Amino acid sequence: MLKYQKIASEIEMKITKLNLSQGSKLPNTKTLSQEYNVGRNTIIKALELLESRGLIYQVQGSGTFVRQKSRKGYITLLANHGYTENLSYFDLKSKVISFNMINAPKNVAANLRCTMKDKVYKVERVHFVHDQILCLEETYYKVSTIPFLNNEIVGGAIYKYIEDILNIEVGYSDKYLIVKKVDDHTSEYLQLPKDSPMLLIEEIYYTKNGDPFNFSKNYYHYEHSQFFLQS
Amino acid sequence: MLKYQKIASEIEMKITKLNLSQGSKLPNTKTLSQEYNVGRNTIIKALELLESRGLIYQVQGSGTFVRQKSRKGYITLLANHGYTENLSYFDLKSKVISFNMINAPKNVAANLRCTMKDKVYKVERVHFVHDQILCLEETYYKVSTIPFLNNEIVGGAIYKYIEDILNIEVGYSDKYLIVKKVDDHTSEYLQLPKDSPMLLIEEIYYTKNGDPFNFSKNYYHYEHSQFFLQS
Q: Per-residue pLDDT for chain B (231 aa), expressed as one digit of tens each?
A: 678 888 988 888 888 778 787 788 999 999 999 999 999 999 998 998 888 777 888 887 888 988 876 566 677 776 655 555 555 556 678 899 999 999 999 999 999 999 999 999 999 999 988 888 999 999 999 999 999 999 999 998 888 899 999 999 888 888 899 999 999 999 999 999 999 999 999 999 999 888 999 999 999 999 988 888 877
Chains A & B: contacts with CB separation below 8 Å:
131
Contact A231 B206 (CB under 8 A): no
Query: Angle at CA B18, nearest 5°, toward B13 and B20?
Result: 95
Q: How far is CA B118 from CA A23, A203, B102, B104, in A?
A: 21, 42, 8, 6
Give me the pLDDT at residue A160, please.
Answer: 87
> A167-188: b or e for each residue (b if 16 or more CB lie within 10 Å)?
ebebbbbbbbbbbbbbeeebbe
What pLDDT digit, counting tens, does each position of A1-34 carry? 678 888 988 888 888 778 787 788 999 999 999 9
List chain B residues with CB under 8 Å of A52.
52
B178: contact with A, CB 8 A cutoff: yes
A61 or B127, which is more confident: B127
Distance from CA of B231 to the nearest CA of A (A): 5
Contact A226 B74 (CB under 8 A): no
Contact A220 B179 (CB under 8 A): yes
User: Which residues in A109-169 belong to E strands, given as ranges?
Assistant: 119-129, 132-142
**Chain-wide mean pLDDT for chain A?**
87
Give me the pLDDT at residue A76, please.
Answer: 75
Distance of CA B157 to the CA centre of its chain: 12
Window from A5-9, A67-71, A95-99, A111-115 with minimum mean pLDDT: A67-71
- A188 contact partners, CB below 8 Å, separation of at least 6: none
Distance from CA of B176 to the nearest CA of A (A): 4
**A174 pLDDT higher than 70:** yes
Window from A62-71, A98-107, B191-200 with minimum mean pLDDT: A62-71
Under DSSP, the state recorded for A162 is: I
B63: contact with A, CB 8 A cutoff: no
Confidence category of residue A81, pLDDT binned at 50, 70, 90: low
B110: contact with A, CB 8 A cutoff: no
Chain A contact probe: residue of B179, B192, B202, B221 with most A CBs at under 10 A: B179
Confidence category of residue A71, pLDDT binned at 50, 70, 90: low
Do residues A200 and A134 lie in contact, with contact meaning Cβ atoms separated by under 8 Å? no
Helical segments of chain A, H only: 3-17, 29-35, 40-52, 82-86, 106-111, 151-154, 158-160, 184-190
Distance from CA of B180 to the nearest CA of A (A): 7
Do residues B47 and B28 lie in contact, with contact meaning Cβ atoms separated by under 8 Å? no
List chain A residues with CB under 8 Å of B134.
none
- The Cα–Cα gap between A6 and A79 comes to 17
